[in-house]
Structure 1
Amino acid sequence: MELRHLRYFQAVAREEHFGRAARNIRIAQPALTRQIRDLEVELGVTLFERLPRGVRLSAAGASFLRDVDVILGQVQHSVDHVRAFAHGHVGTVRIGFSEIASRHRAIASKILAFRLSEPRIELNLLPMGSLAQLDGLRSGSVDVGIVYDVHHNDDDLQHFDCIDLGGSDIVLALYPGHRLAQQREIRVRDLAGEPFLFGIRKAGPLYHDRLMQALLAHGVSPNIIQETATHSILLSLVSVGMGIGFTEYSDETSSSNVLLRQVKDLDLAFRLHLLWRKSNPSPAVQRFVDALRPER
């Protein structure tokens, strides 16, 4: 017994007529009649009662049709599923999602749009820092990472594909009562002696070092009074007047409790990159990557 036998049986059962069924499935009527007879012989039951005009399902045939409808329905579901998977409409994408990415409105908006347009793709947002994302990409536990360019190198790009998602401005976070809050123009030298809040170096050593080097280039050695695990903690401590610190610019960050100011001569710029393994064959991952590509 083959699937075609089940489809032939289903067609005749629906039409209750060999001629009409044969036309619908585009097969010669004698061949269809012979295939149904062979199926009855193989099963050892009579599936149809032959009438002067047409046929009618026997009790055994009606019972068999219920099972055949389920079987052919599941086969069609499997065909649709594998086609959707091959075209990237079904699957799972594990995304390393840091605080940096969450504060980029364009990235968050594109992820939301992708989720709405591809409801059969499961998006797993995995909260982790840039270094953890790179480790996850190498081990295969993460499919896509969103990290600063400073965190990866040329060796990484031998294994990862990369898309530039845009620049990221680094700004000074102040509390409203700070002496620099009303100053029209802030330069690096104005920060000498200030109590600084810095991110923990081990969470992003290259980011930390580049920021430190940019300050030292102007003769300012920051007085670090507290290291913080996240930018959110840094901003929270800034808001209560513990000190000042650098963060990424975001419209959502500036508030009545935290002011963001450009430091005019701070020569520092970062790019935000989307990374994924070259060896990852997942069509769903590729579709997600395409959805996050910047518009040209």
Structure 2
Amino acid sequence: MAPGRRPSSATLELRHLRYFLATAEELNYGRAAERLHIAQPGLSQQIKNLEEIVGTPLFDRTRRSVKLTLAGELFAEEARKALRQTETALLVARRAGRGEIGRIAIGYVGSAAYSGALTTMIGEFRSAYPEVELDISEMEMLQQLDQLDQGKLDICFVRPPVPLPLGIVTIPVLLEEIILALPDSHPLAGREAVPLSALHGDIFITPRHPPGVSFHEHTTAACRNAGFFPRLGPQGRDFVTIASMVAVGLGVALVPRSLKSIQVPGLRYRPIAGEPVLGELAVACRRNEPSPVARAFAAHARRGAAASPAVS
């Protein structure tokens, strides 16, 4: 092919670059063909095709030697960059497909942090997937599930029972004892354990949940099992608010045991006498999750739940 010939309209492919670089490094068609595990005539034809695509000779051939032309030397330098970039692109895509890189948005109820389950699970996930970017927000539970349904969140830490949008599932990660929060001034605050039946005349403070949801349901169900229906009073935005409301004497409350990490003056935590009352902490996620990194977190949660003796 004469120098200056118009380039071919054929498509340049990665195999052309690999064949060219092997030949450029060996400067011998026979050794290059052996290295590439192809026949020498096939390699010669591929190099010829490449030169037609480029539009200029890349090798100076004689009977005794093969040398790179100036165009060939410059092309080799760029070809190596192109192959390295291609390998990087493939690696990034494969890692993203395995959920090793990317971004995940996580919502959680505050009590998930008190229990240690949130920090433990996210900490372990970060160790396993250090290049995943985490966006973590404390959020009211029903708002979390709404944003999960809309695709604005990928993972939620919630406290069932709670109605789930279609296509959302939960993974239990912790079963936690439910205890009583009493004001210091309460007649039963000094007891080692308090029977729920003794609180039939008290006002119970619950989170801002509809009937049948989370600690609203735990409160009414536990009291019914103790033989009475609770007098429901004011509601708190979160358990820290509820603890403060109890401390100032607005009522009593059923709270997760992990809330004992929050100490408020005028507040006593006491176990419920008799059979333990348990509440669940769960991870909510989409059943058919398109994001590999969110699927990786859900799988991480399932492994953690399976390994935890506190989850049945």
TM-score category, normalised to shorter length: 0.7 to 0.9
* 1:91–1:54 Cα change, 3 Å: farther
CA drift at 1:123: 2.8
Residue correspondence of structure 1 range 131-280 to structure 2 within 5 A = 131-152=142-163, 156=165, 159-174=167-182, 180-191=188-199, 197-201=205-209, 207-212=215-220, 214-215=222-223, 218-219=227-228, 221-222=230-231, 224=233, 227-236=235-244, 244-250=252-258, 253=261, 255=263, 257=265, 259-264=268-273, 268-280=277-289
Aligned equivalent of 1:290: 299
CA drift at 1:117: 1.0
The letter for the 1-side match of 2:254 is F
Q: In the comparison of the two structures, how many residue pairs are matched?
A: 292
Separation of aligned partners in 1, 2:289 and 2:276: 37
CA drift at 1:9: 1.3
The letter for the 1-side match of 2:143 is A
TM-score (norm 1): 0.80
Which residue of 95, 99, 103 maps to 1:92?
Answer: 103
CA drift at 1:284: 2.4
Percent identity, please. Answer: 30
After superposing the two structures, state which structure 1 stretch, 75-84 or 198-207, moved more. 198-207
Aligned equivalent of 2:33: 22
Which residue of 65, 75, 89 maps to 1:64?
Answer: 75
- Long gaps (5+) in structure 2: 1-11, 308-312
Alignment RMSD (CA, Å)? 3.4
After superposing the two structures, state which structure 1 stretch, 29-38 or 235-244, moved more. 235-244
1:103 equivalenced with 2:114 (yes/no): yes
| Paired residue secondary structure (2:56) | coil
After superposing the two structures, state which structure 1 stretch, 186-195 or 70-79, moved more. 186-195
TM-score (norm 2): 0.76
| Paired residue secondary structure (1:273) | strand
Separation of aligned partners in 2, 1:282 and 1:194: 48
Separation of aligned partners in 2, 1:19 and 1:120: 44
- Long gaps (5+) in structure 1: none
